[in-house]
Structure 1
Amino acid sequence: MTPLQKAEQAVLGAVLLDPGQLAHLDWLAPEHFDRPTHQALYAALRKLRSGGHDALVTEGAVPLSWVTDAVDEAGRHVRGMTAVYAHTLISACPRPEHAPVYARMVLEGAIHRTIAQHAVRLHQAARADARQGQVDGALHRTDVLAGVLHDLAQRWGTEPRPVPADEPPPTDRDGPIRASVMEDERFLLTVLADRPKAMNAVVGWLRPGDFADPGHGELYRCLGALHHRGEPVDRLTLLWEAQRRGLLADGTLTTDNLVAICDDVGAGDAAWLGEQVLRSSITRTAAASADGVRSLAENEALSPGQLINHALHALGPLDEVRARWRTATGRSPAPPTHRTPASSGPPAERMHAALARSTPTPVPLPGGRTGPAPAPAGARSPARGHH
């Protein structure tokens, strides 16, 4: 059993032992639990509390009906919930008064799990768009992931800001490339070599890194350099520029490939072909960003704050290429990707409770001695049992 599963059991066991602990867990939702049975039981306990169950007002030992009613209510929504398992949860709780800390562990696991799930969906949308020659699905999923990251940051109580990871997560930007993508890149380079003035249509938003083939990207860089210096473009000037950049020596370009592109007829619209290249770049970048975010989410050593900020940084390259896509297509800027926190969100003091430590703060006593902190008003004794 993993530490996260033990934490889920401990939270539920604490609430079964001491219903008053629910007052400190309003920021924890049923969907934050991983196991469906735990989700159903926690939802049942919250429902009993909102319905004014007798266990919340009865002094002394917690009535056994608190457990049996919770099991019955959870059993209406999920199979496998029994009174025996409920008592197993009770025995799994080290100390009921530490429920907020156990719940913080559950929330931390939920944050990792949620980010990983949305990263997988972004990757799937990017691959689907790549096959269909589209970008809308990937861009939509990017907005959803960014919104989730901002929402989780607000729930955890941290400031969302992109921060690079000490060790960048592995990505797969150079995955399988469709033949049509390579053809579009070659057609574009042929047009730019045959009609150098066509460079004006793409130079403002297309970058060498947008090309799937590294050799095509470097040839585009050579064309851009000649265009920037105002020099003529032909087979010889391109060959010379490539040689000066060492592209022939390291094998990035070959003389035969370069000559073949220059000797071909440049038929096509440079802006349209450039958009095709940029569209492919968006889907590849989205897939790579999704891979990076998923790798981060699977790193259990990262705290939620670190994970959220590293994930936002991993989306940075996609934001950059997306901005150039808007320039190329003349689309208006996208709306903000984060959501404004709702006024009904968890109160600040309850969010701080999620970050509380399990060790009580010592209270100064006369004479310089220290003692345990007093129990919160209304809190039930951890020794309180069921009858």
Structure 2
Amino acid sequence: MPRTPAPNEPEDDLDDLPDTHTPQPVYYAEQALLGALLLEPHRLTDIAGIEPDSFSNYAHGALFAAIRALPAPDAVQHTKDTIWLNAVLTAAREHARGLTASYLHTLIQVCPWPKHASAYSRMIGVDHARRTLRAHAERLAQTATDVTLPHPVPATLAEADALAAAVDDTAARFPPHSGSLPRTPAPGPAATPDDAEEAADEERLLLATATAHPADIEQMRWLTADDFTHPLHAGLWQCLTALTRRSAPVDPVTVLWEAQQRGLLTPGIEPADLLDLLGEPAGSPQYWGERILQRALLVTAHRVGHRVAAFTHDPATTPYQLIVGSRRALAELSAVRTRWHHATSPAPTPLPARTRATAPPRAGPPRTTAPPAARISR
């Protein structure tokens, strides 16, 4: 988030780039809280749940850290001199050299009511949670589309876990209450990816290869029609899965007939073209299926990241709505993630059948006396 300078802060402390952003409401909440603490330092005991990095303004965070680090002054003496204020300023300037004594007095003047310090701190905590979730969501969306990653799925899922942990942390700090779901409109459809043609080629190869090896389809329940990028390909996959589950014959002609029954032969889709598509197998269905599912997982992660980020950009979204909306979005990714693990986990090795071995005869107790003499019959 761009750093917001404090008033009277020299431009050279901001790399000679003055900030032109309009201050947001949280900026004034931060000013009010700091003014309350400077005026009545004992209010610090009412503050919980925020840290110096919770402030959107770096100088404000440095000032809060200095206030926490220094012992509170005597209440009566504090009204008579500025010794404690000077000490706070000196400590804060070690990290934010643009702070001035006049700005501290400005903070005191703009604070409406020092007794409302805890309310101001909660506003700061809410905004910090919003910014934290936004940062994690944006990293998730960016990672999901980073073509330079050698292993994009593990990196993307790690970012999803980090976002989920941030949501859980927010939920722990803001207990749930009754309320509505986020009213934020969903982001528009994503732009056509650069690899759209590659995705279509992989889907065509899967359909042709699965038609040639229908026995493999039953082992690929982890792949669904929603994972395909092209509606016709999704429909043909449903034809293949339906035929195999009915134990019906599978070849290009039977798939073509099933496609006709499902209304896939719309104008512009010629039967001969479908037969050509289904008649050029290459590789294995498992390989192409994993490629399609990987792309679906990354696309879903990108969509989830944008969705959560949209929640955080809506200032009307409450912490509770952020939590519920984010968890619902992450649940969509979790469903695809589960199927990915099913697809890529090695098949369990069947245990050998247990045979019931014949137990050796048990040895009797040792004899301690001579056996009885054999009885001689007359």
Q: Under a length normalisation based on structure 1, what TM-score does the superposition of the two structures give? A: 0.78
Asked whether the equivalents of residues 153 and 294 of structure 2 are also in contact (C-alpha less than 8 Å), the reply is: yes
Shift of 1:108: 1.2
- 1:191-230 to 2 correspondence within 5 Å? 191-202=209-220, 204-230=221-247
- Paired position in structure 2 for 1:19: 41
**Would the aligned equivalents of 2:204 and 2:277 in 1 still touch at CA under 8 Å?**
yes
Query: Do residues 242 (structure 1) and 264 (structure 2) align?
Result: no
Task: Name 2:86's counterpart in structure 1.
Answer: 68
Residues 257/12 of structure 1: CA separation in 2 closer, same or farther (3 Å cut): farther
- Aligned equivalents of 2:149 and 2:255: distance in 1? 33
Cα distance in structure 1, aligned partners of 2:251 and 2:216: 14
Matched residue count? 324
The 1:322/1:160 distance shift into structure 2, 3 A limit, reads: farther
Tell me the equivalent position of 1:47.
69
1:133-212 mapped onto 2 (5 Å cutoff): 134-158=152-176, 165-166=182-183, 169-170=186-187, 172=189, 175-178=192-195, 179-202=197-220, 204-212=221-229
Contact 1:121 1:141 in 2 (8 A): yes
Q: What is residue 274 of structure 2 aligned with on the other side?
A: 258
Give the corresponding residue for 1:346.
Answer: none
Match of 2:99 in 1: 81
Find the aligned partners of 1:242 and 1:56 in 2 and give their Cα distance: 84
In the alignment, is residue 123 of structure 1 matched against residue 138 of structure 2?
A: no
* SS state at 1:128 partner: coil
Unaligned runs of 5+ in 1: 333-387
Structure 1 residues 208 and 174: alpha-carbon distance in aligned structure 2, compared to 1, 3 A threshold = farther
What is the rounded CA distance, in whole Å, between the counterparts of 2:199 and 2:271 in structure 1? 22
Structure 2 counterpart of 1:36, from 39, 58, 75: 58
Matching of residue 99 in structure 1 with residue 117 in structure 2: yes
Cα distance change on mapping 1:250 and 1:22 into 2, 3 Å: farther
Helix, strand or coil at the partner of 1:79:
coil
Secondary structure (helix, strand or coil) at the match of 2:335 reads: helix
Map Cα deviations across residues 291-340 of structure 1 (whole Å, 9 max, x no partner).
100111111111111111111111111000000111111179xxxxxxxx
Structure 1 Cα separation of the partners of residues 84 and 264 of structure 2: 75
Which residue does 1:10 correspond to in 2?
32
Q: Aligned ranges for residues 277-356 of structure 1 at < 5 Å?
A: 277-330=292-345
User: Alpha carbons of 1:27 and 1:166: their partners in 2 closer, same or farther (altered >3 Å)?
Assistant: closer
Tell me whether 231-240 or 145-154 shows the greater mean CA deviation.
231-240
Q: Which has the higher contact order (CA 8 A, sep 6+)?
A: 1
Shift of 1:235: 2.5
Higher Cα Rg, which structure: 2
RMSD of aligned Cα (Å)? 2.5
**Which letter maps to 1:262?**
L
SS in 1 for 2:145: helix
Do the aligned residues in 1 keep the contact of 2:54 with 2:128 (CA within 8 Å)? Answer: yes
Q: 1:109 aligns with which of 117, 127, 132?
A: 127
1:114 positional shift = 1.1
Q: Give per-residue Cα distances to partners, 1:352-382, cap 9 Å, x unaligned.
A: xxxxxxxxxxxxxxxxxxxxxxxxxxxxxxx
Relative distance call for 1:167 and 1:302 in structure 2 (3 A) is: closer
Distance in 1, matches of 2:118 and 2:164, equals 27
In structure 2, stretches of 5+ residues that fail to align are: 1-22, 348-378
Match for 2:274: what amino acid? L
Q: Which amino acid aligns with 1:239?
A: L
Q: Give identity over the alignment, percent.
A: 35
Q: 2-side partners of 1:132 and 1:308: how far apart?
A: 32
